[in-house]
Structure 1
């Protein structure tokens, strides 16, 4: 097989990149090692920044998002017996966020790609990539029991943290930055209507809690737990009781809705950045290049920003022959990545309790949250980062 852009990975970054290239007349092929059912069931993020929503609408996958997405114009911070709402539109010039699960974004992109798009091969296991230094890369993969190759001008590595693409970059040409956190999230899906609640982030003496939703009928909730926690140790009663304590309002007027828990899992917390995001003819995007702690709900949104920047660079080269945008792709993306890592890390360390935390750390956390509640300048800085930097 031969194409202009070989895309490894059929997640949000790879699928969106393929869509943007197809609309601009640039040939590409997407190779995804999992089957379609698995890809469309992977539970991931669910908060879309304003720029992500605008991008999805602009490339033709906004219809179901507009029908079923849950717009949120504010975020509530609960801490030290207080509740403070950050109004996003008033602090950001009208921007907000939308709750729409990543699984649904992927379903929409897959359906459009299969109906009107470049080739998308499920079950295509990439074994390796050669020739990225020479400018004539070849992707070696297995599909339907056959060993195959895909020759291309550029390889887009969109295959996630554990994928093949990043491992193609030799150690001598890479720098990696890692931060591991000493706690995890216990996440549950529950058949509980969302009601009128917006996103609630709670800093509590017993640990962090987050109240969010996936659809009008399904809630998504998280609890800070120790690393190594077994989800089976947490009964439904224990989960709901812990959430009720950590999410409680000072006046006791807010009541947590309870219902059947349909899924639970434990997710470790870490930050990871790989530099550069380009090596020869290989360009990395999404989780293949960076992981952010989920507190800021930024992983999917960073992947979208990468895909938009990479598509613009590839289209520019296709139309003009110039590599100017490709040459600056890594640096321009990494500026956004590090700003996002900074914000997500700040949210993580401010809202979670370290296992060895003492009174001094308690007071500095509360002071940081109080600053947002009492200063419009601090609230605007929080709101602009949460609603998303412009793409």
Structure 2
């Protein structure tokens, strides 16, 4: 067995782990990232890409925001479609000038990977049999297998950024973790295509046939979604069948202007709400999908991971620079306040826009009443806009 020491061991090379590593490096804190998959596999993940202002600010602080600002698409509003008409929510006007940025999570990951490689920082891909040890005591370590050799990474702290199925949350002792979960009775069928967007802003559509979302990754690449049954299969859907169904769920103007093309990628994702608490166990911190998952309707997943990293990086910098553990002690509570608010918004927006099999005619009418109130009340529109652009980070 080989042995190495670092200050912070980061498990997981997704956006949260890479962003944390970059922020800690900028502050002079040594860190090593361990990732069970290959770099190509990580970059091949197709994920959302609507960034809140706070996430943009963090990427700038990490020194990786240049390409985002050059190629990302700033959005001042979103459109809600129902009863054959679209209604715009003026995000910029209702929030005092705030915006969101459409920039794919894959591109965020690529920028962070490139920055880490340029700095010569240690990242171990294909790290197998990752095991977390000693985080409830005075020292901690992570062991893993790489290249047929077992390695031990000794560290002061462990950041568990390895997702829902990772080793970090699974390492927490039985009884120490409380989980909350809701599985939604449908999924999203998603298609990625090299076609121009049907609208310059996102369209969220509530339709009797099911929810639809028109999104984009760039001015030439689009991402569209359809609500579908949980037991549906992507291979059952031809490209033509997908485009035909999407048209049915859009308003006439959008349906007429929709540009179609071959699907680059087609997949079905289930929807769930999940929160694990607390998010700290001694020297182990959970961050991102390791601690919480939200349905993608509110575009909060990546942004919540980034806010976790904000609180965690500040806490660790405070520890090493000022010998204060106040931020470490407050980490879980600080994160969870924002996590639960974002989970509430994602649940509300999902419930508003989708067709549920058990709500019947009264559920349909209540949705219509809520949508009518939302688009015609400045107060209601403001509440949605404030949540959509991202609630402020606690100081």
Give the TM interval when normalised to the shorter protein: over 0.9
How big is the shift at 1:117? 5.2
Q: Does 2:245 align with 1:242?
A: yes
Moved more, 166-175 or 113-122: 113-122
Matches within 5 A, 1:256-267: 256-267=258-269
Q: How does 1:313-332 map to 2 (within 5 A)?
A: 313-332=315-334
Task: Give the C-alpha shift of residue 67 in structure 1.
Answer: 1.3
Q: 1:229 aligns to what? A: 232
Superposition map of 1:292-307 within 5 A:
292-307=294-309
Verify the 8 A CA contact 2:247 2:255 in the aligned structure 1: no
**Farther off after superposition, 252-261 or 194-203:** 252-261
Query: Are residues 1:112 and 2:115 paired?
Result: yes
Q: Cα offset for 1:81?
A: 2.4
Q: 1:137 aligns with which of 122, 135, 140?
A: 140
Deviation at 1:232, TM superposition (A): 1.1
Structure 2 Cα separation of the partners of residues 254 and 328 of structure 1: 52
User: What is aligned with 1:6?
Assistant: 9
Q: Quick check: 2:23–2:61 contact (8 Å CA) kept in 1?
A: no
Would the aligned equivalents of 2:86 and 2:251 in 1 still touch at CA under 8 Å?
no
Contact 1:19 1:117 in 2 (8 A): no
Matched, 1:208 2:192: no
Mean CA deviation greater in 51-60 or 329-338:
51-60
**In structure 2, how many angstroms separate the alpha carbons of the residues matched to 1:296 and 1:122?**
31
- Note closer, same or farther for the CA distance 1:253–1:304 as it changes in structure 2 (3 Å cut): closer
In the other structure, the counterpart of 1:59 is 62
Taking structure 1 as reference, are residues 307 and 359 closer, same or farther at Cα in structure 2, changes over 3 Å only? same
Match of 2:385?
A: 383
Question: Residue deviations 1:339-381, cap 9 Å, x none?
Answer: 0000001111110001123111011111111112111111010
Deviations 1:145-175 (A, max 9, x none): 2100001010000000000000111121110
Q: TM-score, normalised by structure 2?
A: 0.96
User: Are the equivalent residues in 2 in contact too, given 1:126–1:139 (CA < 8 A)?
Assistant: no
Alignment of 1:1-391 (within 5 A): 1-116=4-119, 118-194=121-197, 196-249=199-252, 254-391=256-393
Contact 2:34–2:127 under 8 Å retained in 1: yes
Which segment drifts farther, 300-309 or 361-370?
361-370
5+ residue gaps, structure 2 = none
Distance 2:101 2:111 in 1: 16
Q: CA RMSD in A?
A: 1.3
- Deviation sequence 1:55-113 (CA, Å, 0-9, x none): 11222111111111111111000012221000111011111111111000000000000
Contact 1:248–1:255, Cα closer than 8 Å, also in 2: no
- Partner SS for 1:170: coil
Confirm or deny: 8 A CA contact 1:195 1:216 kept in the other structure: no
Deviation at 1:135, TM superposition (A): 2.6
Partners of 1:308 and 1:114 lie apart in 2 by: 22
CA–CA distance in structure 2, aligned partners of residues 334 and 318 of structure 1 = 24
C-alpha separation in 2, matches of 1:23 and 1:7: 15
Question: How big is the shift at 1:195?
Answer: 6.1
Distance 1:93 1:180 in 2: 35
1:107 match: secondary structure: helix
Instruction: Classify 1:309/1:119 alpha carbon distance in 2 versus 1 (closer, same or farther; 3 Å).
Output: same
Consecutive unaligned residues in structure 1, runs of 5 or more: none
